[in-house]
């Protein structure tokens, strides 16, 4: 692993945020170089990000046991090069294979897919369960969801329906002191003739979790760092037990008619994806005892116990849904599960057709509650 061969200051100047970090901290230690690379990656400067990941890797190889580990730095560098349609060095691929076979499989599958050498299902087979090397909700989960969605759209995976329907009930959460505009949004849904609507607040949710799931469930809920994290924890428990639809309190289902025209109920689960292939957890529906939600619960407890400081979206949010779906389809591909799930996955266009962001005042003032 040689030096980058690039003028790093010139490269980082394309991104003001990353450039400010470079001027303030330099990139003579692993974490500084890694942080700059992450900002470049986030803002879409992929070739530049790869150069800084390479810089972090060079520094890390002097202390291979530190974090982030060499294999993680190398795989994300190669991923940036692939997405930027840049050449990937065969020697670096082989080095990654020596460091970590799962990460090598991940990068190999993505590279072959992005270069149109293989189909989505072939890429999924190469990647396997490499996502288990990462926290829930990281980029590999989104890439896998893109591949799964393509397989479903092309009929490679069956879109299986079932006779049992998702219950016509909607659940909402607001922690305390519900403001008028949020209350008006809840009332809008209560006007739907065929839906039962239930609202939880923090006290009701904590009591409910203790009653039906016990002290551990109540404890992780009450320890949530933010009301959004608490809502994440509650939503999976509620829908798993009752079945129905979860709707965030600031999200408005346009009308019952639009819902009925676009959201099928004859599945075990209905999820929608963002354009970036993240699962919407602000609006989804499942039958009771959904196996997908069961896996979500496993990840939520694991993350709450072991990774308390993880980003909310990874720890309890969309990331746990993505991981649950990826695990489910991986088991099918690996032959462990004989039947594909009764799951319908819709796209962002459907989400936009059925819902709209309710203009609640708390977002204008940067607070989550009206307390």
Query: Computed from CA positions of residues 305, 308, 310, 311, in that sequence, does the dihedral angle turn out positive or negative?
Result: positive
Residue 283 has pLDDT above 50, yes or no: yes
Single out the residue of 143, 348, 162, 197 nearest to residue 269, CA to CA: 162
The pLDDT value given to residue 366? 47
**What's the rounded Cα separation, in Å, for the pair 359 and 250?**
7
Q: What are phi and psi of 343, to 5 degrees?
A: -120, 130
The pLDDT value given to residue 2? 54
For the stretch 171-198, pLDDT in tens is 999 999 999 999 999 999 999 999 999 9
**What's the rounded Cα separation, in Å, for the pair 190 and 177?**
19
The pLDDT value given to residue 370? 38
Give a three-class secondary structure readout of 111-168: HHHHCCCCCHHHHHHHHCCHHHHCCCCCHHHHHHHHHHHHHHHCCCCCCCCCCCCCCC
For the stretch 193-240, pLDDT in tens is 999 999 999 999 999 999 999 999 999 999 999 999 999 999 999 999
**What's the rounded Cα separation, in Å, for the pair 20 and 13?**
9
Structure token digits, residue 343: 């799951």
The SS3 assignment for 250 reads: coil
**What's the rounded Cα separation, in Å, for the pair 19 and 308?**
30
In the predicted model, what is the mean pLDDT of residues 3-12?
79
- The DSSP call for residue 248 is -
Residue at token pair 């709450």: 304
In the predicted model, what is the mean pLDDT of residues 125-137?
97
For the stretch 284-311, pLDDT in tens is 999 999 999 999 999 999 999 999 999 9
**What's the rounded Cα separation, in Å, for the pair 356 and 349?**
12
Q: What is the pTM of this model?
A: 0.92
CA 33 to chain CA centroid, Å, is: 25
In the predicted model, what is the mean pLDDT of residues 337-355?
94
pLDDT bracket for residue 4 (50, 70, 90): low
The number of CA neighbours under 13 Å toward the Cβ of 315 is 21
Worst-scoring range by mean pLDDT, 4-8, 16-20, 111-115, 231-235? 4-8
For the stretch 141-157, pLDDT in tens is 999 999 999 999 999 99
The pLDDT value given to residue 368? 46
Whether the Cβ atoms of residue 82 and residue 110 lie closer than 8 Å to each other: yes
The SS3 assignment for 223 reads: coil
For the stretch 26-72, pLDDT in tens is 999 999 999 999 999 999 999 999 999 999 999 999 988 889 999 99
For the stretch 70-104, pLDDT in tens is 999 999 999 999 999 999 999 999 999 999 999 99
Which residues on adjacent β-strands are paired with residue 285?
245, 270
């Amino acid at each position: 692993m040689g030096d980058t061969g690039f003028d790093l200051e010139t490269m980082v100047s394309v991104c003001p945020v990353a450039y400010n970090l470079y001027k303030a901290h330099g990139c003579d230690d692993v974490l500084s170089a890694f942080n700059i690379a992450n900002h470049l990656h986030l803002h879409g400067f992929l070739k530049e990000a790869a150069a800084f990941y390479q810089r972090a890797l060079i520094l890390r190889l002097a202390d291979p046991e530190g974090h982030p580990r060499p294999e993680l730095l190398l795989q994300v560098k190669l991923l940036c090069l692939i997405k930027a349609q840049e050449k990937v060095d065969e020697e670096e691929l082989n080095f990654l294979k020596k460091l970590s076979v799962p990460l090598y499989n991940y990068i190999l599958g993505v590279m072959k897919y992005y270069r149109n050498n293989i189909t989505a299902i072939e890429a999924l087979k190469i990647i396997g369960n490499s996502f288990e090397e990462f926290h829930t909700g990281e980029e590999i989960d989104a890439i896998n969801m893109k591949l799964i969605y393509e397989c479903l759209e092309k009929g490679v995976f069956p879109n299986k329906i079932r006779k049992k329907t998702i219950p016509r009930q909607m659940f909402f959460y607001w922690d305390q002191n519900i403001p008028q505009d949020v209350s008006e949004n809840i009332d809008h849904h209560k006007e739907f003739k065929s839906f039962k609507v239930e609202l939880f607040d923090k006290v009701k949710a904590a009591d409910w979790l203790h009653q039906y799931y016990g002290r551990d469930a109540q404890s992780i809920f009450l320890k949530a760092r933010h009301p959004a994290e608490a809502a994440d924890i509650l939503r999976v428990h509620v829908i798993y037990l009752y079945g129905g639809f979860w709707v965030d309190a600031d999200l408005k289902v346009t009308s019952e008619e639009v819902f009925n025209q676009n959201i099928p109920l004859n599945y075990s689960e209905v999820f929608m994806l963002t354009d970036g292939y993240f699962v919407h957890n602000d609006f989804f529906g499942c039958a009771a005892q959904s196996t997908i939600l069961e896996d979500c619960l496993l990840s939520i407890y694991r993350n709450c116990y072991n990774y308390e400081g993880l980003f909310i979206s990874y720890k309890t949010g969309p990331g746990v849904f993505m991981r649950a779906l990826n695990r489910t389809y991986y088991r099918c591909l690996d032959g462990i599960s004989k039947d594909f799930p009764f799951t319908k996955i819709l796209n962002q266009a459907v989400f936009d057709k059925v819902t709209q962001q309710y203009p609640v005042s708390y977002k204008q003032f940067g607070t989550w509650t009206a307390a």
